[in-house]
Amino acid sequence: MNIPVARGSPPPTGVYFHFPFCVHRCHYCDFSVQRTRMAPVDEWLDCVAAELADWFTDGGWPTPVKLETVFVGGGTPSLLSGDGMPRLRDVLRQRCRWDASRLEWTAEANPASLTARLLASWREAGVTRLSLGVQSFDDGALAWLGRLHDESEARSALARARAAGFHDVNLDLIFGLPASVPRDWRSEVAAAVDAGVTHVSVYGLTAEPDTPLGRRVGQGRVRMPDEDRYESEYVAAAEELEQAGFVHYEVSNFARPGRECRHNWQYWDGSSYLGVGPSAHSHLGGTRLWNVYSWEAYRRALGEGRSPREGFETIGAGESRLERLWLAFRTNRGLPAEDPLNRFVRREAGGMLTAWRDAGWLTETGGGLRLTRSGWLRMDAMVASLEARMESILTPGSSRE
């Protein structure tokens, strides 16, 4: 399937690389993952180099493109061989340039495979920020989730990262486990703070249908937590982190002041970014594009000289308004007063906004609109209500704005 990129689309300012290989798939994971004990690093590097060449040919972008962020996710990027990240840097240098003093280069890692040798290699390659998939500091919870590391290994990985000179570190934690899995959630959040990390991402556990966890839930073997437990753990994490000086800058993300993930902001503020690798998504000048999901399909397409892009959609004016609404309410920036969409929402959904303010779900600062912590817990339903209201007004041919 040939899906071209319109020439003249703005070049990306950030690149995401998906490294899909894992030794083991966790019970809750529905990402594009290929299980293997020995990742085919050479073949993956050849494939991403070929995909980058394809993007630049179709996009007609001038070489080099100036990058602000790079993100290597997975999968388990810490399964890259010792020289894998420097070689990825060299592949990227064929098309792109960056200011090493300003570039944010994030790489995800599993504590079980993060060695001192790998950390030294990543530092040499230019990686500036680590994201560790710790998920929990409780051995029982880690075993239930199907993780390969325990609490001791998580703490050791954090110590190795500090010793290697990585001072900008994110730590992932999962909340909302079933009540049958005993844990002291507040103490785990406190452990993250004590670890000295600069960023914490907290994600509620979901039971996706095609995962082992999803099948167990469907069979009635596992009962997911009720809404009250889910909400209480989310609030507890926010309280612990904010008291420790973290800024709750996005529904799932907390950072020390000035340590927000710049790459993630590119997803939320409408910037152009490139996704390279199986299942990776891109956004270029109002068009969303995505690659084939599996490693085998991705490898095969590039091996046959075809683009791995599987689909795309052009974002129309009405859809763009709705998307801006969703993305704005995800973050603490909210919907600024000067944004025409702010004025439109106030005019057409003023009663709804008043009800949300009275309930404590929405707040105003200088005319800007943003959700509170309680609002973030209800964000999907709230924004869906606004979306329905907007769609009833922005009918084809309507001039109301």
Cβ-based neighbour number of residue 325 at 10 Å: 21
Write out residues in the chain with pLDDT < 70, as ranges.
1-4, 6-7, 317-318, 394-401
Number of CB atoms found within 10 A of residue 341's CB: 18
pLDDT given at position 317: 67
What is the rounded average pLDDT for all residues in the chain? 92
Calpha distance 13→93 (Å, rounded): 14
Q: DSSP characters for 338-385?
A: TSHHHHHHHHHSHHHHHHHHHHTSEEEETTEEEE-HHHHHTHHHHHHH
Read off the pLDDT of residues 16-27 as tens digits, 9 standing for 90 and up. 999 999 988 888
Contact 112, 148 (CB under 8 A): yes
Residue 396, Cβ density class (10 Å: 0-12 exposed, 13-18 middle, ≥19 buried): exposed
pLDDT of residue 395: 57
Give the pLDDT of residue 150.
96
